[in-house]
Every structure is written in structure tokens, then in C-alpha cells.
Chain A
């Protein structure tokens, strides 16, 4: 008897994981991994934030801690402090008690729960045909999360202008003006992945104006708060501006990167509702959705974040840790640009320091990328995206020289 799975096709490997796998298999002594989006120290190692180490010790030695299942919506003190960090302590929406949250499995989990809710309840009870817009380009998992939540129409909105190497604001605004009513837009709160190009405050204001006028749904993806500029407040500007404009909106937060809690899967879906009554009903439906997805979220990471955010000295220490990471990225950006300019590498390299966050769209084309990977053993995405954290004082010269070679030898 045949297997019931005999016709299942092999799924294509995820590009960024394949890249890391190839990197791991490469024996070349000077190999560099500029692929995966995780922070690395100047020694090329992952970094356990000192404040996290401290708090984890507190947790593990605290015998009074309750070891039961977390409530379905998650650890209450985590949810409220996480929302506060996004919206600001003095957020009027919080004061008006119309902000709620769901603890989720990382940023992906938050997007998932938000997507499942929207598909069921956003505009009528069946939003399978409601368009969901994601930036062109975007984090490639955005497509999968919304598609799997049942949205049949996931489309790109214009974002990256490859020629200009910057934001295609007119294209973006054009898509906002012409999209079907009630479309859902996934916006990157800061440190756009993969381009590293964020709208300016003035540009955000224009985007918000159109979205408000056309009644489009705002779904922020905030995976890098604090990481982009080093300032938690600055990186939350766009989210807070939209809240101040009166939008009902979702914000999917990830604490993987700014807490270095990659393997604890700490995320939060912040919900800004019209009023407390709406919020209550929304949360009741969110609970049902969570119940059939993972039932109870894991407690470890949420406790670390909650304790840190709610304890002033620890919060302050965390802010410093975050700034340490952001500063190292800024340093690598400055040095890479300087070295490319010193080498006289053709083209302009201002975008390296103008872009923000972990990622940079170098502008290398796919042949040049191939050259980098095959000839120089420097692993970056086919799009030309590099993770600045992969650069260190030890490898930056090699990388700069290799980029120089790629640009001059390969067209």
C-alpha cells in the first residue's frame, strides 16, 4: 500500500538558512557570514546580554516562582511592560485603557496571531480576499505567515528604489492611494529588513495621512526597537506617531534581537483599540485563537523581559546593553564606508551609513554577490543584503577589499 504522503514535493530551502549552512560547510580560513540576522560581537560570537545573565540567575534561584502554565494570553507583567516600551510610558492610549497585548512566540508568533484575528474579524467575518500589502522587498516570512493565516491576496507595495538606493516614497504613496479599501499594510517600525531604509519623520507623516484618509489597517512589525539608533524612544517614533493620530492598530514586537533572547521566543502583539470595550472583545477572540495554536506561551523569556523592564536599575542596564549593540553596528557601518571610499571603489557608499539597523542593501548585483560567495567565501544574500553584525575589526578589511574586487571585476 502506498504512503499517503508519496506525492509530497520537497520544499525549497529557506535562502538565509541555506546560506548559513553553506557557510558552515566552507573550510576557507577567511570565510565571513554576512547572512543571518542575529547580533555578533566583535569576536564574531553571539552575545548574552549581561543584564539577561543577571536576571536569568535571579529566576532560576527563586524558589517562590510559580511554575504553572502561563495564562493563555501570557504573563501579565510582560504584556503590559512590553506594550509600554513600544508606546511610551505616557501614552494617551494606555491611559485611556484601550491598549492590550498577547504574549506570543517571537515576532513571528505575534504576526501569526494578529493575522489569524484579522482574517476572521477585520472587515466582516471572512477576510480571505482582503489584500494584505507587504513592502517590496520585505522579510520573506511575511508572505508565508499571512498566506497561511488564510489571506489569498498578499501583494507588494512599492518601497525600495534600486536606482536611487533609497525609499520610493512616491511609489509607496501611490500604492496607498490606489489600493482597495480596507487593505491591510504591514509596516516596518524601524530598521527595515532587508533594506535598512526607513521613512523620515516627514515621510511617515505623509504615509499616515493617506492611511487615515483611506481607512487602511496599520500592522507594524517591530523587531529592532533600540537596535536601530541605540535609542528606544527614537526607534518607536513611527509607532507612537500613528497611535497619536488615533489609528486602531496592531504592533508585532520581537525581543529576540534587542534582548538577545533568540531561543526563548519572546514576542508581544500590542493592540491599540478604539476603546476598552472593543479591546475586551478583541482579546477574548485572540484568546480563542491562541488556544488552538500553542495554548500557553513559554514563560522563561517573558519573565526575563518583564523583570528587566519593570526594575529601574535593570532597565537602565538593558538600555546600555542595547546601545552597545547598536553602537557596534554604527561603527562597522562607518568603517566599511570609509574603507570603500579609501579604496576608491566605484559608486557612492553613503547608503552604508544612511541605512539603519542590522541590515544594509549594498547595491551589489547577483553576479557580484555570486563572486563574493564563490571566490571570496563571503556569504551574503542574493539581494545584496548584508548583516552588519557579521563584520568585525578583524574581517572588515577583507570584506571591503572583496567588495572592491566584486564591483570592479564583475559587471
Chain B
């Protein structure tokens, strides 16, 4: 699904980045902010930053003014809006009903809700190999009719190791260009969470640099602990700037029949953080430091296994490799909460809880379970 569990810290509460907490307080005290209806397209400062975040500031598409971004209610809202846009306008002669290709497993419910019935799945995760099977994926896409829409995840469901490499992406995109398939890219947890900012957005940037048109659904809920104020962005890259106004106007019209306008609270926070690259860099650096210290603690405790992957991965999350039983042990016996797949929110670790967490992991690994 498009939204997964938030990451919890040891008190069982989600971790709200201190910066976000500070910003929320600043925003609430700001006398110049007033209660007006926001634009149906959302907060301009947010969509600008979010769009740049995905495409890169120097994107040709941006400079040629053939990109628009619309603030949505989280990633689901972005996917829904994108689906509605395709349904109504992908084939202007008649309402478009598909085909849409999704990775399996993934649910097509949002597309169905938008009235797109023709949904197919392409091969993605090979459970035996515990990896993506690119050959099968490519074979399935080869079979897709021209002009099919293909939904792809740029940064896969919170780092499970199931990310596609750049070479894989290049192959997929090359095939899509040849077969005239339309990319709809999901970017639910970008940059801070799964890797460096550039790496996650690479597929989006590569498609754009190849001159493709695309839709991209972004979400900023996870990165900033803003679960309760889901902020999303639907990004659209067009071939010509002359089309921008018309397509955006139709997307705008669809927004008004969905939720009229988005809520601004979360968007203000995200826009502020995104416009402060130093803050973002600081967060990433701090996470690196914590990863190094955690690895060192585990080494000193004599924890079994190799923990290099902690520092090879970057960003807010890391995949510990702990199994289901070990994860349950941590939550039930030690009140340390990881995602069911063993992913840990690094930013929730600080100097006061680092030792406890390292010990807990050590116990999970060494206790008879």
C-alpha cells in the first residue's frame, strides 16, 4: 500500500523531528499567517520545493516551464488525483479505462475508485531470491500494450533492499520509451529516508531527462513525522510548455470535485524545511553519526553478524535484518518498536537511548527465542 506504519520510538510514540516541532510552534505564533482559503493547487512555496526536490533544481523540464505540481492529501491523494487526470484526459476522445500496470504486490484500488477498471500486474518481488526479478519485470512490460500506464516505485516500500538499481531503472525506462509506456512514479519516502536525495529521485530525473512525460506522486509524511497532516505532491512533466496551462487547469478542476483545496499546516512545515538545505543536510549528517555509533556499540557488545549495512545505507531509516520474532521481542520485552520488516528509524535514536537500543538489539539476537 502507499502508506506504511509510522516509526515509533521507545515510548511508543512517533518521533517528531525536533525541527518540525519547533517549526510548528513558530508557525502557530506567526501573526502574519491568516486563515484564508488556500489555492486549490496548494501552497505555492510547498509545490515549488517539492517539485524541485524530485526533479532537481537544474532540471531542463523545470527551466522550460513544462512542469506543474499540485499539493495533495498525502500520497494517496496524489495517486488518486493522478488517476483521475488520466481517466479524464489521457485519451481525450473517450474516458480512459486503462490498462494500468502495477507491481505485484500492490493494490489497484485507487485506480479502480477513479473508474479505471483495466488493471494488470507486472512481476516484481521474487520471494525465493528475496530480490526484485528484473528479467521477469521487463518481460511483463514488453507485453503491455502501447500507451499503457506503468506505476513504478522510485524508492521501494521502506528500505527492504528491494530497490531497483540505476542500471535496472535505465533498462526499464529504455523499454518504456520504446514501447511508449507512460510512467507514473511513486516517491513516498524520499531522500532522507532511504538514501541520499539524488538517488531516490534518480528514476524521475532520468525519465525527465529522456524527454518523457510522467506523473509522480510524492509524499512527505514519513520524512518529517507529519503523519497526522499528510502532505503530498502530484508532479506532472509535459512535453511542451504550451500544454501546461490546459492540463493544470483540468487537474485543478478535478481537485475541486475531490477535496476542493488541501490543508496547509503540514505543507508550511515541509516548505520551510525544504527551503533550508542546511537543515536537511544536518539531519542527514546526524543520522550518519548515529548509524556509526550504533554499529560501534553492537561491535563492542559482541553482537553476532556483520553490521556494515548500517553505515552503507543512509538517511532516516535502516534495515536491521532482524526477523519477525526478534522484532516482536524488541517491542514486547524491551519496548523498542521497529517496523515489522525490521526497519528502524535512526532519527529516533539519541545519546540517552542509544545504549539501551544497542543492548536490546543484542539481546534480540542472542536470546533463545
Q: Which residues of A contact B (CB under 8 A)?
A: 1-11, 13-14, 36, 38, 45-48, 52, 56-57, 59-61, 66-70, 104-106, 108-109, 112, 116, 141, 144-145, 147-150, 256, 260-265, 288-289, 291-301
Q: Is B136 an interface residue (CB 8 A)?
A: no
Q: Are A264 and B263 in contact, with the CB atoms below 8 A?
A: yes
B37 adjacent to A10 (CB under 8 Å): no
Interface size class of B (residues with CB under 8 A): 35 or more
| Other A-B pairs, 6, CB within 8 Å; known A11-B253, A67-B228 | A4-B91, A67-B13, A148-B258, A293-B80, A295-B230, A298-B229
Supposing A67-B14, A294-B73 touch, asked if A9 and B246 sit within 8 A by C-beta, the answer is: yes
Q: A4-B213, A298-B73 are in contact. Are A70 and B228 (CB under 8 A)?
A: yes
* Interfacial chain B residues near A150, Cβ < 8 Å: 115
Closest A-B pairs by Cβ, 8 of them? A299-B228, A295-B76, A292-B113, A108-B260, A294-B73, A105-B259, A148-B257, A11-B249
Residue B352 at the chain A interface, CB threshold 8 Å: no
A300 to B28, CA, bound (A): 11
**Per-position binary interface string of chain B over residues 91-128, scored 1 when its CB falls under 8 Å from any chain A CB and 0 otherwise:** 11000000000000000011011110000000000000
Chain B min CB distance to A3 (Å): 4
Are B228 and A300 touching (Cβ within 8 A)? yes
Does B38 belong to the interface (CB within 8 Å)?
Answer: yes
As a 0/1 sequence over residues 250 to 273 of chain B, the CB contacts with chain A under 8 angstroms (1 = contact) are 101110111111111110000000
* Nearest residue, chain A, Cβ from B248: A11
When the two chains form their complex, are residues B259 and A14 in contact, meaning their CB atoms are under 8 A apart?
Answer: no
Pick 9 A–B contacts, CB within 8 A, sort by A: A5-B238, A59-B28, A69-B230, A105-B260, A108-B257, A108-B259, A141-B257, A147-B257, A299-B229
Q: Is B147 an interface residue (CB 8 A)?
A: yes
Residues of A within 8 A of B35 (CB): 46-48, 52, 260-263
When chains A and B are docked, how far (Å) is the Cα of A89 from the Cα of B74?
Answer: 34
Residues of A within 8 A of B53 (CB): none
Answer whether A4 and B259 are a contact pair too, CB < 8 Å, given A60-B28, A67-B225, A294-B73. Answer: no
Give chain A residues whose Cβ lies under 8 Å from the Cβ of B92: 7-9
CB distance from A332 to the nearest CB of B (A): 20
Among residues of B, the one whose C-beta sits closest to the C-beta of A264 is B263
Given the interface pairs A69-B3, A262-B35, the reply to whether A289 lies near B228 with Cβ below 8 Å is: no
B66-85 to A contact mask, C-beta < 8 Å, 1/0:
00000011111100100010
A292 touching B265, Cβ below 8 Å: no
For the complex formed, measure the closest distance between the CB of A185 and the CB atoms of chain B, giving whole angstroms: 19
Determine how close the nearest CB of chain B comes to the CB of A258; give it in whole angstroms: 12
B230 x A296 contact (CB < 8 A): yes
Q: Are A262 and B230 in contact (CB under 8 A)?
A: no
Chain B contacts for A47, CB-based, 8 A:
35
| Complex Cα–Cα for A5 and B89 (A) | 7
Given contacts A14-B256, A106-B259, contact A293 B227 (CB under 8 A): no
Check B258–A112 contact: CB distance below 8 A: yes
What is the CA–CA distance of A265 and B249 in the complex, to the nearest angstrom?
21
In the complex, which residue of chain A has the Cβ closest to the Cβ of B252?
A: A11
Interchain CA distance A265-B110 in the complex, whole Å: 22
Q: Which of B16, B91, B250, B257 touches A145 (beta carbons < 8 Å)?
A: B257
Closest Cβ–Cβ distance, residue B252 to chain A (whole Å): 7
CA distance A116 to B34 in the complex (A): 33
Please tell me if the beta carbons of A11 and B250 are within 8 angstroms of each other in the complex: yes
B317 within 8 A of A: no
Q: How far is the CA of A260 from the CA of B2 in the complex (A)?
A: 32
> Would you give the shortest CB distance from B355 to chain A, in whole angstroms?
23
Q: Check if A263 sits within 8 Å of B246, measured CB to CB.
A: no
Given the known interface contacts A48-B34, A263-B35, A295-B77, the answer about A69 and B228 at a Cβ–Cβ threshold of 8 Å is yes
List of B residues within 8 angstroms of A292 by Cβ: 76, 80, 109-110, 112-114
Q: CA A299 – CA B265 in complex, angstroms?
A: 9
- Do A144 and B253 contact each other (CB < 8 Å), given the known contacts A4-B90, A300-B265? yes
Asked whether B36 lies within 8 Å of A262 as measured between CB atoms, the reply is yes
Contact present for B259 and A265 (CB under 8 Å): yes
Contacts of B246 in A (CB 8 A): 5, 8-11
> Are B243's CB and A3's CB within 8 A?
yes
Contacts of B84 in A (CB 8 A): 148
With a cutoff of 8 Å between Cβ atoms, the chain A residues found around residue B115 in the complex are: 150
Find out whether the CB atom of B263 lies under 8 angstroms from the CB atom of A289.
no
The listed residue (B2, B112, B254, B263) touching A298 by CB distance below 8 A is: B263
Complex CA–CA separation, A291 to B79 (angstroms):
12
B74 contacts across to A, CB distance below 8 A: 294-296
A60 touches B109 (CB 8 A): no
**CB-CB < 8 A to A301: which residues of B?**
263, 265
